[in-house]
Amino acid sequence: MGIDADDLERPFAWVRRALYLALTFVALFPGRAPGTIEGDFAKRDDEARGHLDAGLKTFLQGYLSDPFGPDETTRVSFSAVDLSGGGVKEVLVYVSGRNWCGSGGCVLLVVAPPGSAHRVLSRITIARPPIRVLSSRTHGWRDLAVWVRGGGIITGYEAKLPFNGRSYASNPSMPPALPLQRETGTVVISPNDAGEQLYP
């Protein structure tokens, strides 16, 4: 009894179909290669840059204080952006230094604009620049995007952080944060931003 050629082809038909769909998707939606950062992401919108004035600096020195004394390696990069659409600018503060970084990244703070005093709206862990403010919104607030790599994540990717009505997703590697495929936005803190020393 012979083997029909159609019988041999049938089990592999779904493999060919899946491969065709994958190649079609890549051709139609050419995204970034996994683990890379596009050249444009190294640039930032300098108009969004905030000013580390005395009030914000004093607040950050207190908020990031350590019972054993200040971490003199602490540096901050910051940008002021209207995230809520309320006409005033919140401040994104990327904190790096010995106490604030691990293998997965450093700390990103979202600081409310000063009324009677500054306050932290969100503390986001294991974030890496580029930090982007996206065009999309969740609960009326602009979504954020950060780069995720290290800490067990071998292939880096960009993660989208939604706002839940009170704060942003705190861990970019876990839901409700999710990998971002392709979305417009503005880089506000770039990988090239060395930041400013927080403590004298």
Q: What confidence tens digit (pLDDT) does each residue in 50-105 have? A: 456 788 999 999 999 888 888 899 999 999 999 999 999 999 999 999 999 988 89
Identify whether 161 is part of a domain: yes
Identify whether 64 is part of a domain: yes
- Output the pLDDT for position 14: 46
With a cut of 80, say whether residue 33 has pLDDT above it: no
- Output the pLDDT for position 59: 92
Residue 152 gets the label, from left (phi > 0), alpha (psi -120 to 50) or beta, of left
Within the chain, strands assigned E span 75-81, 90-96, 106-112, 119-138, 141-150, 153-161, 178-179, 185-189, 196-197
With a cut of 50, say whether residue 166 has pLDDT above it: yes
90 or 2, greater pLDDT? 90
Q: Provide the domain limits for residue 192.
A: 37-197
- Output the pLDDT for position 154: 63
Q: Which two tokens stand for residue 5?
A: 């050629």
- Output the pLDDT for position 24: 37
Identify whether 75 is part of a domain: yes
**Structural domains in the chain (count):** 1
Identify whether 74 is part of a domain: yes
Identify whether 4 is part of a domain: no
Identify whether 179 is part of a domain: yes
With a cut of 60, say whether residue 169 has pLDDT above it: yes
With a cut of 90, say whether residue 142 has pLDDT above it: yes
Does 176 sit behind a cis peptide bond, omega within 30 degrees of 0 on the bond before it?
A: yes
- The reported pTM is 0.74
Identify whether 175 is part of a domain: yes
Identify whether 1 is part of a domain: no
